[in-house]
Structures are given as structure tokens and as C-alpha cells.
Amino acid sequence: MANNPHTRPNSDEAHDKEFKTNERSKSENLEKYCSDAEGHDLRTNQGTRIADNHNSLKAGERGPTLMEDFIFREKLNHFDNERIPERIVHARGAAAHGYFQPYDNAAQYSKAGVFQDPNKKTPVFVRFSTVQGARGSNDTVRDVRGFATKFYTDEGNWDLVGNDMPVFFIQDAIKFPDFVHAVKPEPHNEVPQGQSAHDTFWDFVSLMPESTHMVLWTMSDRAFPRHYRNMEGFGVHTFRLVDKQGKARFAKFHWKPLAGTCSLIWDEAQKLWGRDPDFNRRNMWDDIESGDFLEFEFGVQIVEEEDEHKFDFDLLDPTKIIPEEQVPVVPIGKMVLNRNPDNYFAETEQVAFNPANVVPGIDFTNDPLLQGRLFSYLDTQMLRLGGPNFHEIPINQPVAPFHNNQRDSMHRQTINKGQASYEPNSIDDGWPRETPPAPQNGGFETVNERIDANKIRARSPSFGDHYSQATLFWNSQSEAEKEHIIAAYTFELSKVERPWIRERVIKEILPNIDLELARRVGENHGVETPTEKPAPADELGKSAQQESPALSLMARLPHDIKYRKVALLVADGVDADQLQSLQAKLQAEGAKGIVIAPSMAPIKALGGQSVVPDAMLNGLPSVTLDSVVVVGGAESVKTLSQSGLGLYYVQEAYKHLKAIAAVGEGKDLLSAAGVPTQEDGIFLGAAVDDVLTPFVEAMGQHRVWSRDSKANSMPA
């Protein structure tokens, strides 16, 4: 006889208390779904052993295939249905497993279990993505990068679905379909792939001044990170954190890359589309395989509720940042990505992130973009993953146990026992039961915000400033970064066919950011620009702060050469001692020296030793590596100097502002290629030790920035 549920303790508290995840929890949870065919017979999906996997069943050796062939039909049937719809945005991505560990200051801000214990590692799965291009598009396109993290916490999944830029193009989710239609390849011919340089994008954004700040970010070098380990990440919206006392505070979420922020150069990024379209995903994969894990610090900007209106912008407006100089980013934890997925489709493709996946201690605000997102993700995933049971797909399952009365639908895996699939019930003792809110292990309780308002379809006047933070971003860039932004607008608009769209951007949008920016882009397009900002005063805004050094990529340069990949150019007759010394010394600095030769055939070094190259000149061209050393040896350098690919290697490295070193005769290759030998960032010397220290220092600055104004004259 079942008990009356109303007389029983109201939670599976004992179970919750015992239940604790650790760094391995998610991997262990996935392991039971992993399949390893080693040592196993080939069988059909029904378990029948297959004798011949090469020939379909036919009526005679040269006759028609027979319908009866269930082995053939099952195989083709499954294959024919292998594809699922790709994501409507963020289709191209790469992901990794890892863990998050809070610092001991984290618990004061939020009661979420994930922040409580500095000794506890919570498993995470992180997917990085581009936004515009299809699943098979290029990695290094000019675009925003998605930075989505699933925390498998003791209290359920928390998804922080962020980007590598801290603001967004629009303020209200109702404009999202318009924005995405405008930026995606154009509907009549599906061109261009992975790019914003086309009419519909610039038409839309020039008619939507609120997009100006974010467009400026995407015209900066932030739009093509060198490596996922070198990107910042942002939650974008203002969220809420709730502490154990129930006190809520506003919070902006940040990921700060411990390896520093570094980007590619636009020309390099474009060339990579052909040379290595998988550049970012390959580098992340290879680094993780070789134990060079990706590390990010998690930080929060905290604003007390009573300070909500103390800023000259609205905290709910997703086109605004809180400048770090006004509210510092407090580091409260660290994330390490240390394991590659076992299967791309099962994990990276089927993972479903949703900003609505939160746990007690984390809550939303009324940011109208965030509010729309809370609807959109589950909705799109129903179609993409074939119905409402995609939470059962192994990568999406929480590690925390869950029970409820949701039942049935497509592909249901769970075999729910019992007769009662409703609540309250007295048949199954009332289980599963609600849990009241509590400082820990409680049920989710929404922040008790008072709303007293009319229903209204309008934009708050406090969202009206469209330009002042764009100006702030522009003012905060280094000279080289500003030049790259001017070149980016010039390039993008050159691809816009309709003159009135180009002119609208140049005359009506750019001057509101900065008159000189507009003048320079205008000059390149033969368009005259105004001498005063044309927008009304309320759209220009009134930012008190004119500069924010944290907004420049220069603020977080790596300063060391850990994880860097250095091309060591060699041919027959190379000085093997120099080569060995370079490899050892670069390794001691945490970098990798990669031996690059004219072909893959072993090299005969000066003393007769054989050196096996890692790659060929056009197999790993200059754009795929961080810097170049021409190793000495008269014959070796002569061979390279007579090779178009050898010359091109150092010309490109020069053009892309890379540090270049030449040991001994190595300088002859630079001279033959027309690369200046007496300039910053070019290091010549008789021995490895003559060049190494300044070369390493220059690489730590990521690029030789002082070369920026000269690099364009290099024809490569």
C-alpha cells in the first residue's frame, strides 16, 4: 500500500547530498555510449553477422540487384539518412571537453554549486563556431566566433552561450531573422559563403544604426582569431547572479584567454581559406592531442541592483559593454580544455546549447535580445535534432540525475517505470516531487523582480545611443588596428554593388563613429564625407569615457612564445648543428620548430646526416605558422633562393608582420626575396645564439607592429 505523498519528506535530498560530479563525470557518462569495433564481427543493426560486405545480392554475376538483399538495403537506407539540418547560424564549429574550477572568491557572488568549492572540477564541453558560413565553410573568415560552454554541474546543465565579441548587432530579438537573412549568403544565388562583404548585409546594417558598434568589432582584427586559445569570450547580455542569502546582482560574464589575445592578418586569413580551411579546428585538435591544453580565466563584472541606472547607457542594451575601467573584471575561476571529442557528429554536431539552461544562483534580465533567445534555441533544436527528446542524446544529458513526468515522442530512450506520469499523485508515493528553494540544492526560484508596466511595443529611449561606444572602441585601438579597420571597411564596401548602399555607410554611419575613419574610407571610394557628425545628438550619445585600453588586442599580448609554431627552412646542405640547436631552444621556450623542406624526401645535411622534414614548403606554407627561421648552410640557402616557394615563404612572412630570423648564409634568401635585412623584427646572425633572444622577444609581441605601414609594398 503506497504512502500518502503529503506526509513524506519533500525531496530526494539524501540522493542529492551523495551526488557529486568530478572532472571525469561527463566522460564516464559518455563512455557507456561509446562503441569500439576492435575485435568484433561485422554485423547488421539487428545483430546478424555479415559474410560479404563487397557484393550486393544479384540475379547472376552480371544481373540486377535483388530487393531481397536486406544487408544492402539496411546499409544504404542508413547512409541515405546520415545528414541532419545544420544549425541555422553557427553551423561550422569545433569542440572540446574539459573542466571548470572556481577560485575561492566565487561563492560570494552566486549560490550555484559550480562556484562553491575551489577544489572541485566541473566537467564542461565547449563549442567554438563561426556564424555566417555553412558547416563546410572556412574557419578563418571575417566573422564573429561563438563560444558556447555547457557546464555539467551537480545541479543540472548550465549553458553559457556566448561570443568572442561583447556586443550584438541588434537590440530586440524580433530583428534576428532579418539580420540573419541579410548576413547569410544571398537568397538568389547563395553567394557569398562565410562573408559579410555583400549588398544585403551592408544594406541592412546601414539602415539599422544600432548595429554600428558590433559591425565595427567585426571590421577589426578580432574577426579572425589566430587560435581559439587566443580569443576572449563574452556572455554579452547582463545576467543576474544570486547569492546564498538570496541577494541578486547584475553580472556580465567574461572568458579571458591565458595565452593572450592574438589575431590573424586579413591577407593571411584569406589565403588560409585555400591553404588550410580547417586552420582553427586543426590547431585546437593538434594542440590538445599533444597536451598543450587551452586555458581561459572566467571573470565577472558585478553591478549592485541599486547601481543599475548609474551608467550613461542601459545595462539591458546588448549593444553596450561596461568598460572594464568602470567595473573591473573579477577573475573567479579557470577553464581548461583538455580532451578532444571521440566522434564529431555524436558530440560536436549533436550538442545543443541553450541560454535558458540555468541552475539556481544564475538568472536572466529583461534584455530583449536575451528574452528572445530564451525561446529560440529549444525551438530550433526540435527540428534540428528531431523532436523533444534530444536531451537524451549522450552529449546533452546532464550528469545530474533527473526525473519528471515528460513522456514519449520520437526516439524516446528512457524506459519510465511506474503508472503515474503526473503530479501530484498518490500511486507512486508522489514522486518525483518539487524541491523548495534553498541556499543550496534547492529548486530554481526566479528573482522576484517587480514589474509594473503597460503592455507596449516600443524601444526604450535609454537604448537610443547608437554611436558613443563605437567611438570608444575606435579611440581605443592602436594605430595598426585602426589601419586594419579602415582597410576592412574599404574592402567590404568594394564588394557592395549598389553605390547608394556604399554611400550610406560612408556618409551616414562612419562619420558618427569618427570623422577621420569616414574620411579615409571615403577617400578610398571616391566619396566625400561630412565634416560634422550627421546623427541626431541622442543617437550620438554622451559617453563620459573616451578610451578603454582593454578594448585593444594589444592589452593582452602573449609576451611569451608558448604554443607558437616556427618554420625552420632547410634543404640539402643545411647546417644540422644549427637546426638541432634551434629545435631544442625553441622547445625550451614552449614553442615548436617545424622542419620545412622543398619536398618530403629526407635532407642530406652538411655533415652527411639525414634529416627527415616535417612538411614541404607548400604543404605548411608561411600563413599556417607563426614565424620563420632560415637555417644556415650555403647549399641549402642557395636551393631555397632558387625556389619560387622558398622566396614566397619569407615574402609572405614579411607581409604578415612575422618575426624572421636568418642564421649564417640564411640572410641570402631574404636578400633574394627582396625582404629588407636592416629592419625591426628581422634578425640576422652568424650563430643561433646571436638571433634567438631578440627573435623570441619579437614573437612574444605576436607581430612586428612597426612594419605594418611598409608590409603592403611586399607583392606576396
Choose the binding region for ligand HDE from 64-72, 157-165, 508-516, 615-623 (rule: CB under 6 A). 157-165
Q: How many residues bind ligand HDE (CB under 6 A)?
A: 25
Residue 208 found at the interface with ligand HDE (CB under 6 A): no
Which three three-digit cell numbers place residue 610? 639525414
For this structure, is 357 an active site residue? no
Instruction: Kindly tell me which residue out of 26, 281, 373, 592 binds ligand HDE, with binding defined by CB under 6 A.
Output: 373
> Of residues 138, 163, 283, 512, which has the active-site annotation?
163
Pairwise CA distance, residues 230 & 379, whole Å = 32
Task: Report yes or no: 114 and 147 within 8 Å, Cβ to Cβ.
Answer: no
The strand pairing partners of 593, in sequence order, are 566
- DSSP designation for 349: I
Distance of closest approach, residue 109 Cβ to ligand HDE, in angstroms: 20
Residue 598 found at the interface with ligand HDE (CB under 6 A): no
Binding mask 72-111 for ligand HDE (x = CB under 6 A): ---------------xxxx--x------------------
Phi then psi dihedrals of residue 249, to 5 deg: -135, 150
Count of CB atoms situated within 10 Å of the CB of 534: 14
Pairwise CA distance, residues 676 & 74, whole Å = 64
Residue 369 found at the interface with ligand HDE (CB under 6 A): yes
Distance of closest approach, residue 88 Cβ to ligand HDE, in angstroms: 5
Distances (CA, A) of 356 to 111, 345, 672: 18, 24, 59
Distance of closest approach, residue 342 Cβ to ligand HDE, in angstroms: 18
Instruction: Kindly tell me which residue out of 377, 444, 648, 705 binds ligand HDE, with binding defined by CB under 6 A.
Output: 377
Distance of closest approach, residue 240 Cβ to ligand HDE, in angstroms: 16
Pairwise CA distance, residues 343 & 364, whole Å = 33
Instruction: Kindly tell me which residue out of 29, 326, 380, 524 binds ligand HDE, with binding defined by CB under 6 A.
Output: 380
The reply to whether omega before 432 is within 30° of 0 (cis) is: yes
Pairwise CA distance, residues 73 & 62, whole Å = 19
Please give the residues from 174 up to 193 whose contact with ligand HDE meets the rule CB under 6 A.
Answer: 176
Pairwise CA distance, residues 167 & 554, whole Å = 19
Distance of closest approach, residue 334 Cβ to ligand HDE, in angstroms: 21
> Of residues 90, 198, 656, 702, which has the active-site annotation?
90
Distance of closest approach, residue 190 Cβ to ligand HDE, in angstroms: 19
Distance of closest approach, residue 473 Cβ to ligand HDE, in angstroms: 17
Give me the residue whose beta carbon is nearest to ligand HDE.
Answer: 146
Cite the DSSP H helix spans in 495-632: 499-503, 510-513, 515-525, 537-540, 576-588
Pairwise CA distance, residues 77 & 516, whole Å = 61
Pairwise CA distance, residues 677 & 630, whole Å = 13
Choose the binding region for ligand HDE from 302-310, 372-380, 500-508, 560-568 (rule: CB under 6 A). 372-380
Pairwise CA distance, residues 165 & 157, whole Å = 24
b (16+ CB within 10 A) / e for 610-644: ebebbbebeebbbbbbbbbbbbbbeebbbbbbebe
Which three three-digit cell numbers place residue 83? 545528414
Choose the binding region for ligand HDE from 367-375, 454-462, 583-591, 673-681 (rule: CB under 6 A). 367-375
CA atoms within 13 A on the CB side of 451: 7
Residue 372 found at the interface with ligand HDE (CB under 6 A): yes
Pairwise CA distance, residues 251 & 299, whole Å = 10
Pairwise CA distance, residues 614 & 200, whole Å = 44
Choose the binding region for ligand HDE from 73-81, 160-168, 188-196, 433-441 (rule: CB under 6 A). 160-168
Instruction: Kindly tell me which residue out of 161, 216, 506, 682 binds ligand HDE, with binding defined by CB under 6 A.
Output: 161
For this structure, is 163 an active site residue? yes
Nearer to ligand HDE, 131 or 586 (CB): 131
Distance of closest approach, residue 411 Cβ to ligand HDE, in angstroms: 18
Catalytic residue IDs: 90, 163
Binding-site ranges for ligand HDE (CB under 6 A): 87-90, 93, 127, 129, 146, 148, 161-163, 168, 173, 176, 236, 352-353, 369, 372-373, 376-377, 380-381
